[in-house]
């Protein structure tokens, strides 16, 4: 299984409602893409408070690297990615992606 972890440092003027609307796209993709598993998204609640500005993120599990690639190639994912980049502090520099085989 592949765990796809995305952390976003949103610009200050991006509201929690806008963020929730963007994250609500993820389950739609889950219905379209075989191999895309559990989706969890939201705001950090960490008591350590070491987010360094990356207060929001999501995790998606995939059954294979090929499933992750299909997700990355899908037009709905690309549209969501463009919205996230536009809303992130510094554009693409405000997004961290980490893929881990588990």
Residue range 73-96, pLDDT digits in tens? 999 999 999 999 999 999 999 999
pLDDT at position 73 is 97
Q: Which residues span the domain enclosing 13? A: 1-31
Domain count, the chain: 1
* pTM assigned to the model: 0.93
Q: Which two tokens stand for residue 80?
A: 């969501």
Residue range 19-76, pLDDT digits in tens? 999 999 999 998 899 999 999 999 999 999 999 999 999 999 999 999 999 999 999 9
Measured from the Cβ of residue 18, the count of other Cβ atoms closer than 10 Å reads 13
Residues 50-67, buried b or exposed e (16+ Cβ, 10 A)?
eeeebbbbbbbbbeeeeb
Domain assignment present for residue 77? The answer is: no
Measured from the Cβ of residue 29, the count of other Cβ atoms closer than 10 Å reads 17
Domain assignment present for residue 15? The answer is: yes
């Amino acid at each position: 299984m592949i765990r796809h972890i995305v952390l976003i440092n949103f610009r200050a003027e991006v509201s929690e409602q806008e963020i929730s609307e963007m994250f609500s796209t993820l389950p739609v993709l889950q219905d379209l893409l075989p191999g895309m598993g559990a989706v969890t998204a939201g705001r950090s609640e960490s008591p350590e408070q070491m987010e360094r500005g990356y207060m929001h993120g999501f995790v998606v599990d995939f059954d294979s690297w090929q499933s992750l690639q299909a997700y990355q190639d899908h037009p709905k994912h690309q549209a969501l990615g463009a919205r996230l980049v536009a809303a992130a502090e510094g554009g693409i520099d405000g997004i961290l992606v980490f893929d881990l085989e588990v």
